[in-house]
Amino acid sequence: MNGNGRRQRPGGVGDSPLRPDAAAKVLGAFEYASDLKAEGMLYGATLRSPHPSALIKRIDTAPALAMPGVRAVLTHEDVPGRKFYGLIVQDCPVLAIDQVRYHGEPVAIVAADDAETAHRAASAIVVEYAILPAVTDLRSALFDSDSPRVHPGGNLVRHQPIRRGNPADPAVRAMADVEITREYQVGMQDQAFLGPEAGLAYPTADGGIELHVATQWLHADLEQIAPCLGLPESKVHMTLAGVGGAFGGREDLSVQIHAAMLARRTGKPVRMVYNRQESFFGHVHRHPAIMRYTHGARRDGTLVYVVAEILLDGGAYASTTEAVVGNASSLGAGPYEVDHVAIDAYGAYTNNPPCGAMRGFGAVQACFAYESQMDALAAALGMHPLDLRARNAVKQGSTIATGQVIDSPAPLAEMFEQLRAMPMPQAPDRNALLPGGYGNTTHGEGVRRGVGYGVGIKNICYSEGFDDYATARVTLTLERGEPVASVHTAAAEVGQGLVTVQGQIARTELGVEQVKVERADTRVGSSGSSSASRQSYMTGGAVKAACEAVRDRVFQTARELGVDVPQGSALIGGKIVSMLGEPVADLADLLGDGTIEETREYRHRPTGPLDRLTGQGSSHVQFAFAVHRAVVDVDVELGLIRVVQLDVVQDVGRIINRLALEGQIQGGTAQGLGLAVLEEIVTDGGKVLNPSFTDYLIPTILDMPPLGMRILEHPDPASPYGLRGAGEPPTLSSTPAIAAAVRDATGLALTRVPIRPEHIALREPQEQEANAHA
């Protein structure tokens, strides 16, 4: 049934139609941003800082300009407008001015006749640096008054406290029979999208610029690019190029301003494409975190208090650190009812690589810590990990630590029962299925099996009072006698299947088979970012609203022509159909040579900022939940881990496209597995040591286990079709589930992810850190 209570329509909401880009991608014919070409185009390249922190004493571009085939060499002096940009805080220079603050910061850009010449010219630029001490220790950056300042205003981006009840009250502390205190760390994870940063910029006849670029948010790019180019937004036209993955790493600018500057200077199209190493320097990463948690609970498992300090390393520039701190703090107690909470979350500037948006957005780091704490409590209390969670889990009507009431379904109790009912894997029947088995490292003598659980709560859409909206333009016309709907938004298709969903909504609401989804660009109003699991909710809501307006116009036209359109009629199969299923009029007769077009903005219900002192406030639109169980085999002698099976239960409100949804849950789980046991950008003194897929390891098909999946549908009455954003929650819960399973197999505390062989091998099991009192 669809949102109007009518039967599901082929290719509509609830179906899984073929993706329009599927064949081209499978056959290698899809044009990604890195494939773009233009006649007479030049190639751009970037010179980047080799130092995490240094003053720039001198830049000599003459050696590069003297090279044959070089058309332009630009530095900060050539930036025609504002010299700084940023998503929230405009603190990031277009090109370094008098100082570099991270390893890989752009210093100069080059345009040349071919890519090789451009890169050789960039290398020929002479830069004289005066190296400064690099601020790389997170705790020192925040709390050591003698620490150098990364920016003149200091090293603090944001401090957000959350206060509920009074966990410092001795009477409250005395209520707990068990108290657990531990410190946790999360390493720096990379989005590791396969399509590198790329774009093509064309100068236009009116002095403006046309940009084709892989991005997550066209209009946010536009708002930052135009002032830096010294142009009105009307002279910067942006079109979404093919995107090879994103996961938050394309929210910040990369090639956009640089390619546009070179195109305007040379008067020619300029293409910029990062290679894999440069891509690691060219986008933000997941914030590394240090988190100290104290949980107190009664003997029956009831949580009494949670006290936490969450430190997030934002690196050299602000990016989205302020919002990430808001998420980590507001969700820092997890999906649990607890009356007494004191959380302090901090985001810091350092001279480490810049960090910003990545799938899960601050909730991932907190989830690893609070779920690890729940496991430690369960062990200390002698309870099953799911029993402890079930005793404390939120439900509809619960109040979280910020004072916000969960006013839509939160079916965690059902999710736990569904997870328990899923079958466990059998013992491996051959050595190849053991850790390191393909290398014949073991015959099972040092291998132990473990089982672990993880639960996550994630906010959906943007929070804290942000004016989050999406725009859609829908037209209905006749082509060759058949009604055809066209949907135009600026929403970025980054691989998640949004183009398909827009078509499904149009088929459902307008009852037509043929739907065209136009290429996303800035000729239509903003649809916001393809992040925060928000596009099906927000752009889906906008498309639905625009389709409803078109449908109303169709009914109005019919009535003006004397057709009796009963209340409750719908558009089905190219006709107006009554509630009884009787045809009323044919769309082809009503449309004739005309076109019906409507544009609508969709906004979710309002949110508010967190109180800066107490953290109280209804800051989130919607909450989503996922639960994982992990089964692992661990070779405790070699420190090798094989994830044998993962099982997940997730409530999605309403399934819009099952096939796409399953892909999102699988992909989110894979990224959580990567953070648990594989993925980390390693730095030394601020320098990145592993900017390649040789040394930065992501899960392959051999690393991904079978994934059992159960999807629940408990509609959210406030959202379009009752849907609940689904892309991020599995990334939260998969990481702590895997870590818990490895702990179960080894008996080790394992307070850091990713878990490395040296964290496991040749170590004695550690006792659980529990301070029990009567």
Residue 102: name the closest of 313, 401, 245 by CA: 313
pLDDT given for residue 8 in this prediction: 59
Residue 503: pLDDT over 90: yes
Runs of H (alpha helix) within 580-694 = 587-591, 658-677
Token pair for 7? 């039967």
- Mean pLDDT calculated for residue range 439-459: 94
What's this model's pTM, rounded to 2 decimal places?
0.96
Quote the pLDDT of residue 442.
87
**Residues 559-579: what's their mean pLDDT?**
95
What does the pLDDT read at residue 98?
97
Contact 528, 540 (CB under 8 A): no
Which band of pLDDT confidence, cut at 50, 70 and 90, is reported for residue 763? low
For the beta carbon of residue 605, count every other beta carbon within 10 angstroms: 11
C-alpha neighbours within 13 Å on the C-beta side of residue 11: 19
pLDDT at site 533:
97
For residues 147-165, give the mean pLDDT. 98
Please state, for a pLDDT cut of 70, what percent of the chain lies above it: 97
Per-residue pLDDT at 1 exceeds 90: no
The predicted structure's pLDDT at residue 429: 82
User: In the 3-class helix/strand/coil scheme, how is 292-344 assigned residue by residue?
Assistant: EEEEEECCCCCEEEEEEEEEEECCCCCCCHHHHHHHHHHCCCCCECCCEEEEE
| Distance separating alpha carbons of residues 347 and 324, to the nearest angstrom | 8
* 141 inside domain: no
Question: Quick check: is 158 in a domain?
Answer: no
Distance CA 688, CA 680 (A): 11
Query: What SS3 class is residue 169?
Result: coil
Q: Which residues of 423-459 are buried (b: 16+ CB within 10 A; e: fewer)?
A: eebeebeeeeebbbbeeeebeeebbbbbbbbbbbbbb
Share of the chain above pLDDT 90, in %: 95
Predicted confidence at residue 771, as pLDDT, reads 38
Question: What is the mean predicted confidence (pLDDT) over 630-651?
Answer: 97
Separation of alpha carbons 571 and 580, rounded Å:
13
Q: Do 220 and 110 share a structural domain? A: yes
- For residue 726, the model assigns a pLDDT of 97
Is residue 503 located within the same domain as residue 585? yes
| Residue whose structure tokens are 């073991």 | 442
Does one domain contain both 583 and 616? no
Complete edge-to-edge strand list for the sheet that includes strand 126-131? 99-100, 54-60, 126-131
Q: Tell me which of 592 and 653 has the higher pLDDT.
A: 653
Order of strands, sheet of 570-572, starting from the edge strand that comes earlier in the sequence: 570-572, 575-577, 583-586
Residue 450 domain flag: yes
Residue 594 above 70 pLDDT? yes
Q: Is the pLDDT of residue 774 over 80?
A: no
Residue 587 sits in the same domain as residue 697: no
What is the rounded average pLDDT of the residues 502-521? 97
Q: What is the pLDDT of residue 438?
A: 83
Q: What is the DSSP string of 231-290?
A: --GGGEEEEEPB----TTTTSS-SSHHHHHHHHHHHTS-EEEE--HHHHHHHS-BPPPEE
Element (H, E) at 419: helix 412-421
Q: What gap in Å lies between CA 613 and CA 626, rounded to an integer? A: 30
State mean pLDDT over 534-545: 98
314 assigned to some structural domain:
yes
Same domain, 210 and 348: no
Q: Is the pLDDT of residue 7 over 80?
A: no
User: Based on the number of CB atoms within 10 Å of its own CB, is 152 exposed (0-12), middle (13-18) or buried (19 or more)?
Assistant: exposed
Does 3 score more than 80 pLDDT?
no
Same domain, 307 and 432: yes
Q: What number is the average pLDDT over the span 598-620?
A: 98
Query: Which of 268-282, 521-535, 756-770 is predicted least confidently?
Result: 756-770
- The answer to whether residue 176 sits within a structural domain is no
CATH code for the domain in which residue 239 is found:
3.90.1170.50
pLDDT, residue 123, reads 98
Q: Decide if 676 contacts 734 (C-beta within 8 A).
A: yes
What are the pLDDT digits (tens) for 63-97? 999 999 999 999 999 999 999 999 999 999 999 99
Tens digits of residue pLDDT in 297-325: 999 999 999 999 999 999 999 999 999 99
Do residue 278 and residue 414 come from a single domain?
Answer: no
Q: Are residues 257 and 380 in the same domain?
A: no
Q: What distance in Å separates the CA atoms of residue 79 and residue 235, rounded to the nearest whole number?
A: 17
Would you say residue 441 has pLDDT above 90? no
Q: How confident is the model at residue 761 (pLDDT cuts 50, 70, 90)?
A: confident
Mean of the per-residue pLDDT values of the chain = 96
What are the CA-CA distances from residue 573 to residues 560, 587, 691 (Å)?
Answer: 22, 9, 53
Indicate if the pLDDT at residue 397 is higher than 50: yes
Q: How many CB atoms lie within 10 A of CB 332?
A: 30
Q: What is the CATH number of the domain that holds 555?
A: 3.30.365.10
768, pLDDT greater than 80:
no
**DSSP3 helix / strand / coil % (the chain, rounded to 5):** 25, 25, 45
Domain check: are 371 and 499 in the same one? no
Q: What pLDDT score was predicted for residue 773?
A: 35
User: Domain boundary residue among 603, 628, 648?
Assistant: 603
Q: In this structure, is residue 573 part of a structural domain?
A: yes
**E runs forming strands in 578-734:** 583-586, 596-603, 622-635, 640-651, 683-684, 687-688, 707-712
Query: Distances from the Cα of 500 to the Cαs of 22, 364, 639, in angstroms?
Result: 10, 28, 43
Full domain range(s) for residue 40: 33-132+196-243+250-282
569 assigned to some structural domain: yes
Domain total for the chain?
3
Whether residue 166 is predicted with pLDDT greater than 80 in this model: the reply is yes
Tell me how far CA of residue 538 lies from CA of 148, 222, 260, 542, in angstroms: 43, 20, 30, 6
pLDDT at residue number 439: 86
Which residue, 234, 259, 282, sits at the end of a domain?
Answer: 282
Residue with tokens 């301003």: 257
Q: Does one domain contain both 237 and 305? A: no
Q: For 342-360, write each residue's pLDDT tens digit.
A: 999 999 999 999 999 999 9
Mark whether 360 and 451 lie in a shared domain.
yes
Task: Assess whether 321 and 413 both reside in one domain.
Answer: yes
- 106 confidence band (pLDDT: 50, 70, 90): very high
Contacts of 348 (CB under 8 A, 6+ apart): 138, 141, 142, 155, 156, 157, 311, 312, 313, 314
Which of 581, 603, 625 is the C-terminal boundary of a domain?
A: 603
Q: Cis link prior to 63 (omega < 30° from 0)? A: no
Question: Hey, what are 245's tokens?
Answer: 């993955």
